[in-house]
Structure 1
Amino acid sequence: MKKHIIISMVTLLVLGGITSAQSPEVKGKEIMEKYLKEDEGFGSSEVNLKMILRNKQGQQSERLMRNKTYELTSDGDKSMIVFNSPKDVKGTATLTFTHKEGSDDQWLYLPAIKRVKRISSSNKSGPFMGSEFAYEDLSSDEVEKYTYKFLEEATFNGEKVLAVEQYPVDVKSGYKMRIAYYNPSKNYRLEKIEFFDRKGSPLKTLTYLDYKKYLDKHWRADKFLMVNHQTGKETELFFENYAFKTGLEENDFNQNALIRAGR
């Protein structure tokens, strides 16, 4: 009898551990960790972008950009975006240092006044160059930036996805929450993110479209579609000519490099 009691106690402890490990909070965090782990190792990347801004009436304007990214594992990634056209924004450039903990560092180079302006943490929720993307959307995803709660399995374009609520740790974030949808059959790539404003109301939806796989591992979408449900505006981003392991170094991402890129 004692043997059966001991076995039953061990079983309960094991089951209790499994249950704890599979709590919505832990499972949500594990999904994010898998997503980031699957994409490790690209080193650096460069890509051309076309941005289309569209207002509620359907009128649109177009901008061309160049983006480069430097991967870091000790901290968040570093990235730079430089506008090539139209003439009124040509040379404008942004530099982002994502941090796993604390506020990110971001700078904006304005060629008209030939000065670098630091973007304060309180302004990170503002629109990036008039688009439906906020400055904080330019940062790389890091586990430490959110707390998590797994919601459910859902279906997106006929495939199973895992929905995870993510609550920003940074109190200055423009979002109360976002719901991210990960595809476990495709290296946990992101399929869609729903953003909620500080009041908890639906704000925007970002959909990733036309994925391609690079280096047999890294999934990249050829198109981002960000729709603002409160204003009726939307922004499309088209990505062309991806290149990886391009030889970029960390010192290619500083304020002096930002100024040179904008000239």
Structure 2
Amino acid sequence: MRIQRKRLTSTVDCSSRWRRTVYVLRSILLVHLAAVWALSSVPSWASGLSPEARGTEIFAQREARNEGYGDYQVDLTMVLRNALGDSSHRELRIQQLEVPEDGDKLLIVFETPKVIKGTALLSYGHKLEPDDQWLYLPAMKRVKRITSRNKSGPFLGSEFAFEDLASQELEKYRYRYLRDETLDGVACHVVERYPNDVYSGYTRQVVWLDQAELRIVQIHYYDRKESHLKTLRLEDYRLYADRFWKPSTMFMENLQTRKSTELTWGDYTFGVGLVDERDFSTNSLKRVQ
């Protein structure tokens, strides 16, 4: 009987130690799960990333929110103002086609004034290579290719450069998070981005994005001399298809010449059925109306 009691006591002790071990392991697991939940409940850029990784993450999330639009068409008005305040007006039409495996395709056609009616810019965006761009000049009846070296030049007298109208794919820049701050009452992330294109007219751009929707609200452009060249403001955003935020107004000011260009956008129409080969080929440029 003594031997049986010793064996029983030994069995009870082992069972007790096992229960304590299970309890400790369970407690450790719960603490670990709580930590994982806590990290997952905050934005990934708030979890100790480097400024470079944090800036890249912000723009990656912005790009993800804008994917899946398919295609769209929109009319807009362009107002050019010189340093004296004199202005001229132009009417344009824009068509854009999403190309998931590469950069998007863009067509800009001038409707007025009559002297430049039919002038068109066709742009093929690329993620890793410089964009392909062609300009059709109806007066000359020919299509002119815009070389990489010329993409920093002004687009038909406006304060927008050809590269400003190119696709803004994530891979075209390197990023660095700077800070969070309030701009005109809006909580923003401020991120600096550096063009990968050696022929870019900019050394860097400082971008303000609202924290709520990651919409770009302001960009400062710095030229090759590191001087603040231009400021772009994007305002009056509207929501389309319950997903896509688009600005109604874009105001680009050249701080060195005091000239400016304002774009006022009409209503976007999504899912218009644009076809790559038909609507975005260089051969179709001469047929745009």
- TM-score, scaled relative to structure 1: 0.91
Pairing 1:161–2:216 present: no
* Whole-angstrom CA distance in 1 between matches of 2:59 and 2:46: 19
Question: Alignment RMSD, CA only?
Answer: 1.9
2:197 equivalent in structure 1: 170
* Whole-angstrom CA distance in 2 between matches of 1:220 and 1:138: 15
Pairing 1:79–2:106 present: yes
Pairing 1:98–2:125 present: yes
2:116 equivalent in structure 1: 89
CA displacement 1:110-135 (0-9 Å, x = unmatched): 10111000001100000001000000
1:207 equivalent in structure 2: 233
Distance change in 2, residues 1:92/1:21 (3 Å): same
CA-CA distance at 1:241 after TM superposition:
2.4
Larger relative helix fraction: 2
Pairing 1:31–2:53 present: no
Quick one: which of 238, 244, 261 aligns to 1:235? 261
CA-CA distance at 1:19 after TM superposition:
9.6
* Whole-angstrom CA distance in 2 between matches of 1:21 and 1:43: 35
* Whole-angstrom CA distance in 2 between matches of 1:250 and 1:99: 15
* Whole-angstrom CA distance in 1 between matches of 2:216 and 2:144: 32
CA displacement 1:142-172 (0-9 Å, x = unmatched): 1110111100001122121101000000110
Give the paired residue count.
Answer: 248
1:225 equivalent in structure 2: 251
User: Aligned AA for 1:57?
Assistant: L
1:241 alignment partner, SS class = coil
Quick one: which of 149, 157, 166 aligns to 1:122? 149
Pairing 1:190–2:216 present: yes
* Whole-angstrom CA distance in 2 between matches of 1:85 and 1:70: 23
Of 197-206 and 245-254, deviating more is: 245-254
Quick one: which of 79, 95, 120 aligns to 1:52? 79
CA-CA distance at 1:191 after TM superposition:
0.7
Structure scoring higher RCO (CA < 8 A, sep ≥ 6) equals 1
2:39 equivalent in structure 1: none
- TM-score, scaled relative to structure 2: 0.83
Quick one: which of 123, 139, 151 aligns to 2:166? 139
2:59 alignment partner, SS class = helix
Gaps of 5+ in 2: 1-27, 37-44
CA displacement 1:165-194 (0-9 Å, x = unmatched): 0000011000000011111212x1111111
Larger relative strand fraction: 1
CA displacement 1:29-77 (0-9 Å, x = unmatched): 0011011101111110100010000000000000001000001121111
2:258 alignment partner, SS class = coil
Pairing 1:247–2:273 present: yes
Q: After the TM superposition, which parts of structure 1 deviate over 6 Å for at least 4 consecutive aligned residues?
A: none
Identity of paired residues, percent?
A: 48
Of 241-250 and 41-50, deviating more is: 241-250
Structure with max Cα Rg: 2
* Whole-angstrom CA distance in 2 between matches of 1:190 and 1:19: 19
* Whole-angstrom CA distance in 1 between matches of 2:192 and 2:145: 31
* Whole-angstrom CA distance in 2 between matches of 1:226 and 1:168: 19
* Whole-angstrom CA distance in 2 between matches of 1:156 and 1:249: 40
